[in-house]
Structure 1
Amino acid sequence: MNFVAMDFETASAKRDSAVSLGLAIVRDNQLVDEFYTLIKPDTMFDRRNTRIHGITEADVVNAPVFPEVWEQIKQFYTPNQLVIAHNASFDNSVLRATLAHYGMAQPHYLSLDTLRTSRKLYPQLPNHKLNTVAEALAIDLHHHHNALDDTVAAAKILVKQTETFGVAPLKQLVKVI
């Protein structure tokens, strides 16, 4: 299976406040590349978000703004590309809101949510949070709420799901964004 996994962290509850992004590129069920960046948001930080991910305003003073990041990653968001995330509705909304904030065109791509696939395939779990699913599947999640670590864990979850259950039960959960 070939796909791109993504994870955003935000500076506040505002969806256009992306402060970090992790991408993992998977080809033939193998992690072949990773991308991580801090992002300087065009908004204020909320202490609640900083407590979750540990990223402060000082950390992003010299970070690129999102339009600069988008130039590096937009090739991964094409109509035939599968982009996955754990709680994809959040990450897709951050991408869309951030692009809209900067007046940039919205990409079209295929999306799959490993939160939804995990609910379907592992109903016995007490919850389907990323750290719970990763632990149940013996996937090492180094630093939960680090965008790259979360991205890699989501990618490994999908790889394990496809290896265990095949692609067929997951296809019906793919959305066009």
Structure 2
Amino acid sequence: MNFIAMDFETANGKRDSACSLALTIVRNNQVADEFYTLINPHTDFFWRNVKIHGIHAHDVQGAPDFPAVWQHIKPFYTPNQLVIAHNNQFDNGVLKSTLEHYDIEPPAYLTLDTVRSSRHLLPGLTNYKLNTVCDALNIDLHHHHNALDDAQACANILLYQDQHFGDQQIKPFINMVG
């Protein structure tokens, strides 16, 4: 299986306030590469977001803004590329809103939400939060709400689902964005 797991953290409640991003690149069912960066969103940080992810405004002062980050990651977002996230409405929304904020045309790509696939393939969990699914599958999640750890965990959830249920059970959860 080949895909990219994506996770964003935001500075505040606005979807265009990305302050960190991680990608976990999976090729042939193995983590082949990872990408992590802080992002300077040039906006205020809300205390509740800071409490969740621990990223402060001073942490991103020297970080690139999103257009600079986009130049590095844009090749990953193509119509044939599967980009997954746990609660992908949030992460796809952050990507789309941030691109629109900078007047960059959002790309078309395939997406899958591991919350939805987990609800279907793993019935009976008390909830389908990332940490709950990871606990149920014995997947390490060291620092929940650290974008890189969350992207790695999401990738491992889909790898587990592929190994235990097969790609035919996963394909119905793939949709096109853009």
| Structure 1 length-normalised TM | 0.99
Secondary structure in 2 matching 1:107: coil
Secondary structure in 2 matching 1:80: coil
| Equivalent-residue separation in structure 1 for 2:42 and 2:122 (angstroms) | 39
Quote the residue 2:170 is aligned against. 170
C-alpha displacement of 1:42: 2.5
C-alpha displacement of 1:173: 1.1
Task: Give per-residue Cα distances to partners, 1:90-133, cap 9 Å, x unaligned.
Answer: 00000000000000011000000001000111111110000000
Quote the residue 1:69 is aligned against. 69
Secondary structure in 1 matching 2:55: coil
| Equivalent-residue separation in structure 2 for 1:70 and 1:64 (angstroms) | 10
C-alpha displacement of 1:167: 0.6
CA RMSD of aligned residues (A): 0.5
| Equivalent-residue separation in structure 2 for 1:52 and 1:76 (angstroms) | 28
User: Which amino acid in 1 is paired with 2:93?
Assistant: S
**Residues 1:110 and 2:103 aligned together:** no
Secondary structure in 1 matching 2:72: helix
| Equivalent-residue separation in structure 1 for 2:80 and 2:40 (angstroms) | 30
User: Which amino acid in 1 is paired with 2:66?
Assistant: F
C-alpha displacement of 1:169: 1.3
User: Which amino acid in 2 is paired with 1:4?
Assistant: I
Quote the residue 1:55 is aligned against. 55
Gapped regions of structure 2 (runs ≥ 5): none
| Equivalent-residue separation in structure 2 for 1:123 and 1:90 (angstroms) | 22
Task: Give per-residue Cα distances to partners, 1:149-174, cap 9 Å, x unaligned.
Answer: 00000000000000000011111111
User: Which amino acid in 2 is paired with 1:48?
Assistant: R
| Equivalent-residue separation in structure 1 for 2:139 and 2:14 (angstroms) | 30
Secondary structure in 1 matching 2:173: coil
Quote the residue 1:9 is aligned against. 9
| Equivalent-residue separation in structure 1 for 2:39 and 2:171 (angstroms) | 32
Quote the residue 1:121 is aligned against. 121
Gapped regions of structure 1 (runs ≥ 5): none
| Structure 2 length-normalised TM | 0.99
| Equivalent-residue separation in structure 1 for 2:58 and 2:106 (angstroms) | 30
Identity percentage over the alignment? 62
User: Which amino acid in 2 is paired with 1:18?
Assistant: A
Quote the residue 1:21 is aligned against. 21
Secondary structure in 2 matching 1:40: coil
Quote the residue 1:139 is aligned against. 139
Quote the residue 1:33 is aligned against. 33
Task: Give per-residue Cα distances to partners, 1:6-49, cap 9 Å, x unaligned.
Answer: 00000000000000000000011100100000000022110000
4+ runs of 1 displaced by more than 3 Å? Answer: none
